């Protein structure tokens, strides 16, 4: 009798849930070839030369393509707009041959001159692009970007003809090819940019629905702020026949609990993250939707070294030494994160610094007393800024309590939405700010050049000529051991001056529907949208 009732309940469940499941966004997306993705935050912009965040890159990499692509699993360089390239014996000159069938979404051919225009645009001092320093590897690019060189023709990029692009470097850079799949090297469509404000206008409105012209596998169809952004397959893309998705919809869901509910109700094929409180449950249940893999990224706190007590290196050292990173990763995060004892993620391309940051509360208290704040007496109430997300709030609360117990100081927590938070960071309108740096290419240089005095992403106010010199010298070295020796010295300077506090190295966790195929995990969390498809 009990068995009969159980069967009846199962049949009833199928009758009720079956049609409902068939009507979910995911089920419909599977039938129509439309991928639905959680994307964390609302975007600042879709201009590849004016964005710095991961949410923006997730979308831009569907709309634009650079000279190279990457293997979805190994991240090895693969032909993109450039079907082939040659490198001179001295490692300084790269000659790229562009595809004859590479097209913009309006049908125009993608030419070498488009790349020349784009590289010069992001380097323009008038544009003020935060990621311009990525292109400082080009000959004379740093001087032009700093306004010390007026003739842009002297920057190391030129079009030999419509399909031949020649790039000359300042010094040999063994990681240069790997840099090219970053959006700072993506091309923009010159006539469109010029028609809506020009190359140097930060408020240029070309990157909007109806005016966006890209050269990637998808085109921009619609963008409803704080709701969704939709892209559709681009028929002019050179490899359009290989693209199996008909479209992608990105959802800016900052609240991870809301995002999880959307996934569980059939509203998303993939989440951007998972609520911290739920990770251990998914792991123990061996849930097939749960995905976890290493991620080349560092979570850290920026310290505004131009403000109040944070101008004193002893205070910055004390703040760093007083944190129990292992407690944070093992008791709070619990997703396999590793306590960060220096900035560059452990083992990046084989790099391991010789010095490490270790917890030492007694030394932290001594330093605070020496700086004039024994047991926190007289220490001003500083603010800790973080962008909206439950995990950031929880981490900030835990660190706030650690500093209260160890140093006797009070820190006020301030939450801002992504766009406002990014403005506050750029303008250094904070005392302490939560930050994360995800690798743009798998080399320690990508993490250490962030702190150069010329870096547009250095939001600490700190600079050091010796540090700059070490990184610039390392750029021209081909031998890995010689390069890494200089990086080791650079990491030691960062630990000495502590312009930021490294907290942990990431592990990537998210939920993925089993109908999603071809989404291969990799340490940069890059997505090859041409390799993804959906099964009903």
β 533-534/93-98 pair status: unpaired
Residue numbers of the domain that contains 375: 295-508
Cβ-contact 222, 231 below 8 angstroms? no
How far apart are the C-alpha atoms of 437 and 54, rounded to whole Å? Answer: 9
The model's pLDDT over 298-339, given as tens digits with 9 standing for 90+, comes to 999 999 999 999 999 999 999 999 999 999 999 999 889 999
The model's pLDDT over 378-388, given as tens digits with 9 standing for 90+, comes to 999 999 999 99
Q: What is the pLDDT of residue 233?
A: 98
Mean pLDDT (whole number) for 513-525: 95
Q: For residue 9, is pLDDT > 70?
A: no
Examine the fold and report which residue of 144, 159, 189 is the final residue of a domain before the chain moves on: 189
Alpha helices, DSSP H, located in 23-94 = 25-32, 54-63
Please state the pTM of the whole predicted model.
0.90
How far apart are the C-alpha atoms of 192 and 495, rounded to whole Å? Answer: 46
Measured in degrees and rounded to the nearest 5, phi and psi for residue 67 equal -65, -35
Number of folded domains in the chain?
A: 2
Examine the fold and report which residue of 189, 210, 225 is the final residue of a domain before the chain moves on: 189
How far apart are the C-alpha atoms of 395 and 254, rounded to whole Å? Answer: 16
How far apart are the C-alpha atoms of 206 and 65, rounded to whole Å? Answer: 17
Instruction: Identify whether 446 is part of a domain.
Output: yes
Mean pLDDT (whole number) for 241-247: 97
The model's pLDDT over 102-126, given as tens digits with 9 standing for 90+, comes to 999 999 999 999 999 999 999 999 9
Please name which of 68, 198, 202 lies closest in space to residue 128, comparing C-alpha atoms. 202
How far apart are the C-alpha atoms of 46 and 55, rounded to whole Å? Answer: 10
The model's pLDDT over 434-454, given as tens digits with 9 standing for 90+, comes to 999 999 999 999 999 999 999
Q: What is the pLDDT of residue 478?
A: 83
**Kindly report the CA angle at 197 between 192 and 203, in degrees rounded to 5?**
110
The model's pLDDT over 137-166, given as tens digits with 9 standing for 90+, comes to 999 999 999 999 999 999 999 999 999 999
The model's pLDDT over 278-305, given as tens digits with 9 standing for 90+, comes to 999 999 999 999 999 999 999 999 999 9
Examine the fold and report which residue of 153, 169, 189 is the final residue of a domain before the chain moves on: 189
What percentage of the chain's residues is helix, strand, coil (to nearest 5)? Answer: 40, 20, 40
Buried b (16+ CB within 10 A) or exposed e, 416-454: bebeebbebbeebebbbbbbbbbbbbbbbbbbbbbbbeb
The model's pLDDT over 475-502, given as tens digits with 9 standing for 90+, comes to 888 889 999 999 999 999 999 999 999 9
**Cβ-proximal residues to 7 (8 Å cutoff; 6+ apart), any chain:** none
Three-state DSSP class for residue 243:
coil
The CATH number of whichever domain residue 89 belongs to comes to: 3.90.76.10
Cross-strand partners of 247: 34, 232
Whether residues 301 and 157 fall in one domain: no
Instruction: Identify whether 341 is part of a domain.
Output: yes
The CATH number of whichever domain residue 371 belongs to comes to: 3.10.105.10
Instruction: Identify whether 229 is part of a domain.
Output: no
Cross-strand partners of 477: none
Instruction: Identify whether 13 is part of a domain.
Output: no
Residue 361, number of CB atoms within 10 A of its CB: 16
Instruction: Identify whether 235 is part of a domain.
Output: no
Q: What is the pLDDT of residue 529?
A: 97
Q: For residue 3, is pLDDT > 50?
A: no
Q: What is the pLDDT of residue 11?
A: 34
Tell me the average pLDDT of the chain.
94
DSSP type of residue 21: H
Instruction: Identify whether 42 is part of a domain.
Output: no
Whether residues 166 and 303 fall in one domain: no
Instruction: Identify whether 233 is part of a domain.
Output: no
Instruction: Identify whether 397 is part of a domain.
Output: yes
In which region does residue 147 sit, left (phi positive, over 0), alpha (psi from -120 to 50) or beta (all else)? left
């Amino acid at each position: 009798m009990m068995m009969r009732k159980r069967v009846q309940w199962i049949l009833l469940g199928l009758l009720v849930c079956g049609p409902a499941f068939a009507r979910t966004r995911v089920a419909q997306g599977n039938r129509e070839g439309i991928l639905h993705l959680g994307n964390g935050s609302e975007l600042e912009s879709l201009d590849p030369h004016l964005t710095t965040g991961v949410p923006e890159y997730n979308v831009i990499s569907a709309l634009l393509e650079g000279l190279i692509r990457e293997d979805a699993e190994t991240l090895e360089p693969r032909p993109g707009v450039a079907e082939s390239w040659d490198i001179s014996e001295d490692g300084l000159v790269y000659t790229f041959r562009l595809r004859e069938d590479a097209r913009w979404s309006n049908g125009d051919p993608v030419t070498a001159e488009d790349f020349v225009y784009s590289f010069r645009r992001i380097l323009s001092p008038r544009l003020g692009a935060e990621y311009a320093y990525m292109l400082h590897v080009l000959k004379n690019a740093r001087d032009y970007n700093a306004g010390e060189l007026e003739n842009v023709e002297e920057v190391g990029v030129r079009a030999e003809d419509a399909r031949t692009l020649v790039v000359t470097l300042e010094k040999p850079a063994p990681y240069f090819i790997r840099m090219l799949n970053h959006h700072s090297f993506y091309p923009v469509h010159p006539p469109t940019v010029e028609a809506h404000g020009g190359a140097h206008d930060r408020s240029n409105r070309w990157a909007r629905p109806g005016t966006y012209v890209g050269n990637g596998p998808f085109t921009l169809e619609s963008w409803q702020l704080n709701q969704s952004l939709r892209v559709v397959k681009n028929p002019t893309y050179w490899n359009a026949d290989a693209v199996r998705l008909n479209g992608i919809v990105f959802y800016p869901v900052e609240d991870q609990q809301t995002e999880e509910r959307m996934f569980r109700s059939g509203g998303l094929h993939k989440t951007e993250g998972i609520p911290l409180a739920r990770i251990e449950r998914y792991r123990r249940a061996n849930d097939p939707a749960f995905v976890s893999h290493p991620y080349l990224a560092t979570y850290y706190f920026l310290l505004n070294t131009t403000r109040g007590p944070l101008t004193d290196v002893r205070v910055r050292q004390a703040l760093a030494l007083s944190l129990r990173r292992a407690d944070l990763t093992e008791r709070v995060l619990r997703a396999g994160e590793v306590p960060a004892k220096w900035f560059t993620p452990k083992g990046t391309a084989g790099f391991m610094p010789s010095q490490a940051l270790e917890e030492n509360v007694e030394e932290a208290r001594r330093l605070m007393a020496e700086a004039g704040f024994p047991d926190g007496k007289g220490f001003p109430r500083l603010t800790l800024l973080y962008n909206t997300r439950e995990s950031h709030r929880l981490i900030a609360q835990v660190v706030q309590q650690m500093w209260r117990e160890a140093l006797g100081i009070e820190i006020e927590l301030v939450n801002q939405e992504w766009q406002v938070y990014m403005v506050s960071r750029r303008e250094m309108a904070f005392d302490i700010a939560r930050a994360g740096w995800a690798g743009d290419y798998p080399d320690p240089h990508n993490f250490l050049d962030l702190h150069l005095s010329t870096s547009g992403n250095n939001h600490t106010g700190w600079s050091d000529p010796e540090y700059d010199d070490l990184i610039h010298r390392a750029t021209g070295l081909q031998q890995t051991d010689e390069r890494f020796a200089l990086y080791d010295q650079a990491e030691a300077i960062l630990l000495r001056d502590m312009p930021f506090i490294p907290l942990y190295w990431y592990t990537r966790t998210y939920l993925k529907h089993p109908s999603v195929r071809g989404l291969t995990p990799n340490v940069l969390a890059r997505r090859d949208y041409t390799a993804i498809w959906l099964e009903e």
